[in-house]
Chains A and B, each alone.
Chain A
């Protein structure tokens, strides 16, 4: 991507912010948890199974063909996911990173008087 049209001082400040964010403990923690998750085949398979079961239950509910067994399977998978330390670490770290980045956006936005992320977001709805 070309950022040449940004003013040099602005580019430097943005690069510096990006660099600092990537060395924040929330970001590093998320990257570490993500790496562990992607290296854990059983955790990834479990998440894939859960996603498949959720789609199946939604479809069955819409068709009116949902059975107690479908719901039990989904519930069992949810329990397994919640008990899996790799998945919970990945999920929690993602949430921590989101909260952290939202806090950074609030800092920026308060100084500017506009919601920076809202303005910077490429609109895909509304």
Chain B
């Protein structure tokens, strides 16, 4: 008779799995990168001027999308788009938000890598089937 090593594993209950997922989320919520991101997000959302500049930049970007696809944006529109982008990035709250976001992404990627290594399959990739759809 062949021994099946998989049979030797103690199967975790659904409650146990859910609890460890909650513990994981709680631990992540207490980390500095996550706290920084939450605070930066709040400050960014409360900055009406930064929100207005972001909206203007997005609207311009949206209006130029057909030309951008054809790589046919005229120099005047391109200059205006860059100006709106610079105006948006000039807000301290925006820079703080983008930095906090970058820090959180790197942190979560490390966690995702650790889970991927343990599972032997791409944990984030399995959970998010596509980022383009």
Contact = CB atoms under 8 A, between A and B. Distances in A.
Nearest to B10: A23
B28 to A, nearest CB: 6
A4 B44 CA distance: 31
Interface string A23-46: 111011001100100000000000
Given A112-B28, A121-B124, A16 B20 contact: yes
Contacts of B108: 116, 119-120
Given A112-B28, A112-B34, A17 B126 contact: no
B26 to A, nearest CB: 7
Interface residues of A, number: 48
Interface in B18-39: 18, 20-32, 34
B1 interface: no
Contacts of A13: 20, 23-24, 26-28
Tell me whether chain B's interface is mostly helix, strand or loop, or mixed. Answer: helix
Contacts, number: 147
Contact residue range for chain B?
35 or more
B114 A14 contact: yes
B40 to A, nearest CB: 13
A14 B111 contact: yes
Contacts of B126: 97-98, 101-102, 117
B132 interface: yes
Nearest to A10: B27
Contacts of B131: 118, 121, 123, 125-126
Given A10-B31, A28-B6, A126-B132, A20 B17 contact: yes
A125 B128 CA distance: 13
A113 to B, nearest CB: 8
A21 B119 contact: yes
Contacts of A32: 4, 6
A108 interface: yes
Interface in B92-129: 104-105, 107-115, 117-119, 123-128
Interface in B61-119: 104-105, 107-115, 117-119
Interface of A: 1, 3, 5-7, 9-25, 27-28, 31-32, 35, 97-98, 101-102, 104-105, 107-108, 111-112, 115-123, 125-126
The 4 closest A-B pairs by CB, nearest first: A120-B112, A18-B118, A117-B127, A13-B27
